[in-house]
Amino acid sequence: MSDAHTRRVQEQFGGSAGAYVASPLHAAGEDLERLLAWGAARRGDRVLDVATGGGHTALAFAGIARRVVAYDLTEPMLQAARGHLQARGAANVGFVAGDAGALPFRDGSFDIVTCRTAAHHFADVGAAVRQIHRVLTAGGTLLLQDILGHDDSEASAFILEVERRRDPSHVRSYRTAEWKAFLRAAGLTVMDDFVIWKAREWDEWTGRMRMTAEARGELEAFVRRAPDRCRAAFDFKLTPDRVVSFTDRQILLRADRD
């Protein structure tokens, strides 16, 4: 990953660590329940949570695994996750800093790798998936969730601009076929996949990334100027004076290493 992109991620998330620990959208949801159900069925002893953020996925898996490693590029985020998990009494979680594209673990170290709401920040998703494949044991499983890319190019360009104005470290989100190609190319076999909808409350979503009032005003004007069909694709709810919410789709994938 380039130094400039690493710095962008660290700047964005370093100052927002507390907000990610507190975020209800990260603390729970159908997506986390599904990943956990897949994990419980797989009964993995050793779990790696890539891009752990506030540690919500690591915490959930700490309840079903012997040992969890929470891994993230942003040190202040890892510190916040450590405080969060210690306060919740999760004693079987270790914390390691680094890039998803260069995992500092031996081949075959983990039974399960989780990666939730994070891959759209990776500069090179293919490299991250190859690393995940390498650190998985034979028969191990990747449990992945991320924002799903839109099939319509105009809607896709619209939401990419919204995302990047809110968070310059957003790279892009991928469609189901793109995900399957990344996983297949790395040697992982997709066993299960599905899509869910997730609503974003605008004030919380923009506030969590500490947007200035000016930048937020410009973003809201951009959303209002966009073609109706782009807003409709993400179910944007607007009143005459504010943006209330929008909804995007999330992909969930379970993929095994042969």
- Of 45, 54, 31, nearest in space to 92 by CA: 45
User: What DSSP state is assigned to residue 105?
Assistant: S
Q: How far is residue 25's CA from residue 20's CA, in Å, rounded to a whole number?
A: 9
Distance of closest approach, residue 207 Cβ to ligand SAM, in angstroms: 15
Query: 100 vs 129, which CB is nearer to ligand SAM?
Result: 100
Give one DSSP letter per residue of 134-166, joined into a string. HHEEEEEEEEEEEEBPPSSHHHHHHHHHHHHHH
Q: Contact between 13 and ligand SAM (CB under 6 A)? A: yes
Query: 211 vs 238, which CB is nearer to ligand SAM?
Result: 211
Q: How far is residue 167's CA from residue 120's CA, in Å, rounded to a whole number?
A: 11
Q: Applying CB under 6 A, which part among 97-105, 160-168, 178-186, 226-234 lies near ligand SAM?
A: 97-105
Q: Contact between 51 and ligand SAM (CB under 6 A)? A: yes
Site track for ligand SAM across 62-81, x = CB under 6 A: ----------xxx--x----
Distance of closest approach, residue 225 Cβ to ligand SAM, in angstroms: 28
φ, ψ for residue 68 (rounded to 5)? -125, 135
Give me the residues that bind ligand SAM (CB under 6 A), please: 1, 9, 13, 20, 26, 51-54, 56-57, 72-74, 77, 99-101, 116-118, 121-122
